[in-house]
Amino acid sequence: MKIGTKLATLFAATSALALGAGGAWSAESLQDVMKRRGLNEQDVLAATKTYTPSGKRDEFIAFSSGGQSGQVIVYGVPSMRILKYIGVFTPEPWQGYGYDEESKKVLAEGSKVDGREVLFGDTHHPAISETNGDYDGQYLFINDKNTPRIAVIDLKDFETKQIVQNPVISSDHGGAFVTPNTDYIIEASQYPAPLGHAFAPLEQFNEKYRGAITYWHFNREKGRIEPDKSFTIETPPYSQDLSDFGKLDSDGWSFTNSFCSERYVGGIESGRPPFEAGCSAKDTDYLHVVNWKKAEELFKAGKTKMVNGMAVIPLDVAAREGVMFLIPEPKSPHGVDVTPNGKYVIVSGKLDTHVTVYDFAKIQATIKAGKFTGKDEYGLPILDLKDTIHTQVEVGLGPLHTQYDSKPCVAYTSLYVDSMVAKWNYCEGKVLDKVSIQYNVGHLMTMEGDTQHPKGGYLVALNKLAIDRFNPVGPLHPQNHQLIDIGGDKMQMLYDMPLPLGEPHYVVAISADKLKPSVRYPFGWNSREDEKSAFAVRPGSERVDRKPGKVEVFGTAIRSHFTPEIVEVTEGDEVTFHMTNLERAEDETHGFAVSRHNVNLSLEPGKTSSVTFKANKAGVYPYYCTEFCSALHLEMEGYLIVRPANYKGAEGAGKAGTSYSKADYETRVKTNVETQKVIDGVVAYITSVNYKDFPTATGLFEDAADQLGRAKEAKDKSESFAAKQDWNNAMLWAEQWFQYQVKAADIGLRTKTFLEQNGAKKVQ
């Protein structure tokens, strides 16, 4: 079949396919399928609440901690389809994260620890940036419990932009959570240690070991944390656990629960009872109530000491100045969650059957009245539990975390031991409903459930164990996120999603329409610095700079070739590739991998990435594109030739490849001319309708026009070689002209199909 006819057929087929959708596709009835798969009506109802037909999108986007993988997992609700893993504390080769120089810099900021490289992260709590107490969809933050640090992810492109290490604490858990306008991100320690990563013997635990709560200042315009505008408050050596910021009535305050206020130090190897016994001996631990606005004033007034480069408000100052207060909380607490109206603070006790609802107004009144039951050993005033609580509600065994509904006063609390979720009313203090979970739920999440305006609708239970839920895959099981419908009075279990990347302690979900990620970068973009790369080159200006011992390649990538394609260097050279993706088309990413050199770049449209390595062994190293970007993706290749140090050239070296004749050239040109007619037909259709009313179509059409411009350039080259009767080059450039035509035709047809399916109208 001639190529012109081929394209016309393809074009007809695309239209037929669009019309054919929804036709008689199945001979089986719904009842047949239910019977065959053993489904009951409940199952089918659940399925219709989550099933998302091809092309349809989710209502909410969830950002899940990736646990021990050190990454973030992005998925849609209610379909529970995984959309992305974001490389954060650990290299992620597909995204080139930790493989290109730009991202290596981000990763190195966070991973260079006392001369070691820490490329493992234990992520726990993601947080979405807020404006006026509601998610704004701009940034995501996440903590690493293991090596205390916070990462900043920009939701414009879902890339990690910054990692800051905490110079004071040695483990963290109470992060990341944000103030209602994201001025601060909180990070509280978990296991006490001498501050500033110093040494002190365990015998001096009470005197020298401390916890701390860091308030990282976030600069919204820059999209970065500013360590020099951040401060820390020293806390007693209790095991601080989780944190939350106040809002509305309680704005300006933060809350951090704790366990092991016994300050017990285990030592099972020397006959002492283990930590777990000594750390749960008392009936209560302490909720830390912090006036962070006051602390900020003290920080700005310089009432701090420097610890390892960070300003720290000492415990005695915090106690004296009324920055921190303690309230008892039962028993082995976990989770502290401020209600959407900011009036209450809810804490669970792992070994208690109750949740405790603290009343912020009562806390304030008690502080104002100076009504304290005493002080702890570090001088912090202690408030009476009875004076500060609104109510305590018996919800079940092992309550952990609480999230909120769009309905006023309605909360959901996970019950770890019972393996249930309790729905309850925190205003009236009564349980409304319970649903069983498989198995051992930790955190749970409702849609925008920790903001001032939760969206309700769905709840996800993050289960610690999967046991028999999925097909077995060996002793290490996937995690299980269970989707629950909370739209009605009774909760309904809808769906089990296995998560095979780590234990996601917490997840947050935002309305999908609040996210406005870009589909391409501005030309030649350094995505990690958010600025034009100094190494970007326009097509036609690609070059190779050589200095003694150094070769620097300024190259480009476009369907389906790299420029340059052959790079020759000498053994021992330090080689740098700066590669720019010239594409504008959505989803036209190119990869760049060099054989046996641990190199893989991800070049999304517009991006420039660099990589430097030592060419330390003579040889021939193919490089190629790792994304199947077009029909000639496999031909998107090149050679890095590493010559031996004293290489003098080969004897008897001839010419590589086939030679072409005038006849070859003419046949080629004939096909190209026919192809152009088909393209012209598609272009005529597009310009005959109101394509300009469709941004997607306009974008595609621009990209097609771009490819056609390149076809024209190749055509001109081919013709000038033909004029010189250089048939070999004339033929090869005619072939390249055709390659650009094929890409233009492909995008043109996509544009046409899109317009037809979206009801484009004829314009006069």
List interacting residues with ligand CUA (CB under 6 A): 560, 590, 625, 627-629, 633, 636
Q: What does the per-residue mask of binding to ligand K7E show for 367-386, with x meaning CB under 6 A?
A: --------------------
Yes or no: say if 693 and 759 are a contact pair by the CB < 8 Å rule: no
Smaller CB separation from ligand CUA, 288 or 584:
584
Q: Does 400 bind ligand K7E (CB under 6 A)?
A: yes
Smaller CB separation from ligand CUA, 743 or 750:
743
Q: Where are the beta strands (DSSP E) in 666-745?
A: none
> Which of ligand K7E, ligand CUA, none does residue 629 bind (CB under 5 to 8 Å by kind)?
ligand CUA
Shortest distance in whole angstroms from residue 595 CB to ligand CUA: 16
The site for ligand K7E, by CB under 6 A, has a size of 11
Shortest distance in whole angstroms from residue 556 CB to ligand CUA: 11
Nearest to residue 63, comparing CAs of 155, 167, 196? 155
Yes or no: say if 47 and 34 are a contact pair by the CB < 8 Å rule: no
Query: Which residue has tokens 């030739």?
Result: 641
Shortest distance in whole angstroms from residue 747 CB to ligand CUA: 15
Q: Does 331 bind ligand K7E (CB under 6 A)?
A: no
137: left (phi over 0), alpha (psi -120 to 50) or beta: left
CA–CA dist 697, 685 (Å, integer): 12
Q: Is 52 exposed, middle or buried (0-12, 13-18, 19+ CB in 10 A)?
A: middle
Yes or no: say if 682 and 746 are a contact pair by the CB < 8 Å rule: no
Helices (H), 551-661: none
CA–CA dist 519, 715 (Å, integer): 30
> Which of ligand CUA, ligand K7E, none does residue 578 bind (CB under 5 to 8 Å by kind)?
none
Q: Is the dihedral of CA 81, 84, 88, 94 positive or negative?
A: positive
CA 553 to the chain's CA centroid: 31
> Which of ligand K7E, ligand CUA, none does residue 483 bind (CB under 5 to 8 Å by kind)?
none
Smaller CB separation from ligand CUA, 187 or 627:
627
Phi, psi of 402, rounded to the nearest 5 degrees: -125, 140
> Which of ligand K7E, ligand CUA, none does residue 288 bind (CB under 5 to 8 Å by kind)?
none
Smaller CB separation from ligand CUA, 357 or 557:
557
Shortest distance in whole angstroms from residue 310 CB to ligand K7E: 23
Shortest distance in whole angstroms from residue 464 CB to ligand K7E: 7
**End-to-end CA separation in angstroms for the chain:** 36
Nearest to residue 18, comparing CAs of 755, 763, 687? 755
> Which of ligand K7E, ligand CUA, none does residue 505 bind (CB under 5 to 8 Å by kind)?
ligand K7E
Smaller CB separation from ligand CUA, 69 or 630:
630
Shortest distance in whole angstroms from residue 589 CB to ligand CUA: 8
Shortest distance in whole angstroms from residue 656 CB to ligand CUA: 23
Smaller CB separation from ligand CUA, 636 or 642:
636
CA–CA dist 192, 148 (Å, integer): 12
Nearest to residue 257, comparing CAs of 331, 307, 321? 331
Shortest distance in whole angstroms from residue 145 CB to ligand K7E: 7
**Cross-strand bridge partners of residue 495:** 483
CA–CA dist 329, 348 (Å, integer): 8
**Helix H or strand E segment including 387:** helix 385-388
Smaller CB separation from ligand CUA, 573 or 588:
588
Smaller CB separation from ligand CUA, 341 or 736:
736
For the segment 101-140, give every residue that binds ligand K7E (CB under 6 A): 124-125
CA–CA dist 356, 335 (Å, integer): 11
Smaller CB separation from ligand CUA, 398 or 638:
638
For the segment 681-700, give every residue that binds ligand K7E (CB under 6 A): none
> Which of ligand CUA, ligand K7E, none does residue 590 bind (CB under 5 to 8 Å by kind)?
ligand CUA
Give whole-number Cα distances, 343 to 247, 359, 472, in Å.
Answer: 8, 6, 46
Shortest distance in whole angstroms from residue 421 CB to ligand K7E: 13
Smaller CB separation from ligand CUA, 62 or 625:
625
Shortest distance in whole angstroms from residue 706 CB to ligand K7E: 48
Q: Does 508 bind ligand K7E (CB under 6 A)?
A: no
> Which of ligand K7E, ligand CUA, none does residue 334 bind (CB under 5 to 8 Å by kind)?
ligand K7E
Cβ neighbours of 54 (radius 10 Å): 5
Query: Which residue has tokens 């704790």?
Result: 258
Question: Of the candidates 242, 363, 509, 749, which one interacts with ligand K7E according to CB under 6 A?
Answer: 242
Q: Does 334 bind ligand K7E (CB under 6 A)?
A: yes
Shortest distance in whole angstroms from residue 638 CB to ligand CUA: 11
Smaller CB separation from ligand K7E, 443 or 590:
443
Shortest distance in whole angstroms from residue 592 CB to ligand CUA: 9
Q: What does the per-residue mask of binding to ligand K7E show for 526-565, with x meaning CB under 6 A?
A: ----------------------------------------
Smaller CB separation from ligand CUA, 524 or 605:
605
> Which of ligand K7E, ligand CUA, none does residue 506 bind (CB under 5 to 8 Å by kind)?
ligand K7E
Smaller CB separation from ligand K7E, 79 or 451:
451
The token pair that represents 341 in the structure block: 């109206």
Question: Of the candidates 506, 535, 694, 721, which one interacts with ligand K7E according to CB under 6 A?
Answer: 506
Angle between helices 727-757 and 695-723 (to 10 degrees): 160
> Which of ligand CUA, ligand K7E, none does residue 627 bind (CB under 5 to 8 Å by kind)?
ligand CUA
**Cross-strand bridge partners of residue 620:** 641
Q: Does 481 bind ligand K7E (CB under 6 A)?
A: no
138: left (phi over 0), alpha (psi -120 to 50) or beta: alpha
Q: How does strand 123-131 pair with strand 134-144? A: antiparallel
Nearest to residue 61, comparing CAs of 123, 143, 124, 126? 126
**In what order do the strands lie in the sheet containing 430-436?**
399-404, 410-415, 420-425, 430-436
Q: Where are the beta strands (DSSP E) in 599-741?
A: 599-603, 608-614, 619-624, 637-643
For the segment 411-470, give every residue that binds ligand K7E (CB under 6 A): 442-443
Query: Which residue has tokens 């893993």?
Result: 85
> Which of ligand K7E, ligand CUA, none does residue 194 bind (CB under 5 to 8 Å by kind)?
none
Shortest distance in whole angstroms from residue 750 CB to ligand CUA: 17
Smaller CB separation from ligand K7E, 124 or 668:
124
Q: Does 404 bind ligand K7E (CB under 6 A)?
A: no
Q: Does 173 bind ligand K7E (CB under 6 A)?
A: yes
- Three-state DSSP state, 131: strand
For 447-503, the DSSP string reads TTTTSSS---SEEEEEES--TTSS---SSSPPEEEEEEE-SSSS-EEEEEEEE-SS-
Largest CA distance in the chain: 100
Yes or no: say if 638 and 616 are a contact pair by the CB < 8 Å rule: no
Smaller CB separation from ligand CUA, 637 or 674:
637
Smaller CB separation from ligand K7E, 125 or 156:
125
CA–CA dist 701, 118 (Å, integer): 46
Query: Residues in the site for ligand K7E, rule: CB under 6 A?
Result: 124-125, 173, 242, 334, 400-401, 442-443, 505-506
